[in-house]
Amino acid sequence: MARILIGVSGGIAAYKTALTVRLLIGAGHAVRVIQTPNSHRFVGPETFAGLTGAPVLSGEFDADPMRGAYPGEAAADRAPIAHLALAQRAELYLIAPASANTIAKLAHGLADNLLTAAALAADCPLLVAPAMNDRMYTHAATQDNLALLRSRGTHTIGPDSGDLASHGEHGIGRMSEPDELAAACERLLTAAQGRPSPGVGQQPRAGAEGPASGPDWHGIRVLVTAGGTREPIDPVRYIGNRSSGRMGLALAAAAARRGAEVTVVAANVSLPAPAGVRVVTVQTAAELLDACETLFDAADVLLMAAAVADFRPRAAAADKLKKDAGPPHLELEPTTDVLGTLSARRRPGQVLVGFAAETGQRAVAYGRSKLERKRLDAIVINDVGADGIGFDSADNEVTIVTADGTERKLARAGKDLIAEGVIAGIDELMSHGGREGGVGAGPYRTTGI
């Protein structure tokens, strides 16, 4: 299994980290822990040492009796520099809890303690689990720091809403639960090492090497739609939605890291595109359909993450409608079903994944219906009515349903991490040639994506 380094900063949520360590060790991973001195006030190093069977380090000049080794390994012949050895040998670095202070240091490259120094030295994926008071979390400085970390490739998970450390306080800032943290670690390790996702139970495609960014997708052509279409009412106004395109760009970045040839059809997206990704910009549903029809036949995978308007004004006004003329009468007509149109002309071996932004208790049921109507391989469903996830948010929480009815929920996390979970499952769908078969090692077979 994997070598996992865990950094613990000062916060009452550190007790959840101890439970997370137990879960990861139970899954067969070798774990080392480093703590900030302030974190000792909440959970002592003796607790983590007892759980891991390895000494806990807190200072950059602490002697490591295991000389940088992880449990189950032989110690090195000489004593290495602690923050370099543990970080360089780790396959995943989880910082939980990550306080507002620690997040600020990470964002700006400070290395004034062992935890932050290890973050600069680590070559492996970095997963940060924020935990703090709701006012600290929602402060513009913290949000900017998290955005900066994500832009550099750092993964985040949570926080959740709930009871906070201060008695009687409730809000967002509660660290994700141990099972969610452990599952997020597994998804990142799956992506980084090319192992099957938990629950999939199948091996990667024949010939996949599994580089640092995940299974090798070189030669795979991926078409992603992102953002939200805008249907003009007049030259100034439009009918649209709040989709920012973050989820689509995160999916494009995850596919590109695996070596895929990625094209994004971006509808009104103002965010920067991932490196190495081709972008085609559109505005309306009709323009998005035209672009997708041009690109679809050459694609091996379609990720339809864009929020496409269902209706548009039958005729847009040539001039700006004036307020003093009173409320205009808008006659709407349906737009063309982009995903349904593409699905009807799919070739054998293509993998089609839809996205359903729903609200309410029947969100998953509506998503299942969409999957069947449009003959998709999988559909990713998220409840955009929930606070802090979905449209124009850095986080998401989704349920993924495959064509055989298999259902899997990805707990709330940064959209980059959700994208890794989705992409890891798509790799398995590709190995069986999609719903229509034709390029895989056997007949189509869905999995726990």
Q: Which residues are catalytic?
A: 241
C-beta of residue 129 within 8 angstroms of C-beta of residue 412 = no
State the Cα–Cα distance between residues 401 and 405, nearest whole angstrom. Answer: 6
Query: What would you report as the CA-atom Rg of the chain, rounded to the nearest whole angstrom?
Result: 23
What is the H or E stretch that residue 19 is in? helix 14-26
**In sequence order, what are the residues at sequence separation of 6 or more whose Cβ sits closer than 8 angstroms to the Cβ of residue 249?**
226, 264, 269, 271, 273, 274
C-beta of residue 427 within 8 angstroms of C-beta of residue 205 = yes
State the Cα–Cα distance between residues 191 and 183, nearest whole angstrom. Answer: 12
State the Cα–Cα distance between residues 235 and 240, nearest whole angstrom. Answer: 14
Q: What are phi and psi of 433, to 5 degrees?
A: 75, 15
Q: 210 by DSSP, 3-state: which?
A: coil
CB-neighbour burial class of residue 77 (10 A; exposed 0-12, middle 13-18, buried 19+): exposed
What is the H or E stretch that residue 193 is in? helix 178-193
**In sequence order, what are the residues at sequence separation of 6 or more whose Cβ sits closer than 8 angstroms to the Cβ of residue 248?**
224, 225, 226, 227, 264, 266, 269, 303, 305, 306
Burial 420-438 (b: 16+ CB within 10 A, else e): bbbbbbbbbbbbbbbbbee
Q: Are strands 407-414 and 351-358 parallel, antiparallel or unpaired?
A: unpaired
Which residues are 227's β-sheet partners? 267
State the Cα–Cα distance between residues 201 and 214, nearest whole angstrom. Answer: 17
C-beta of residue 194 within 8 angstroms of C-beta of residue 259 = no
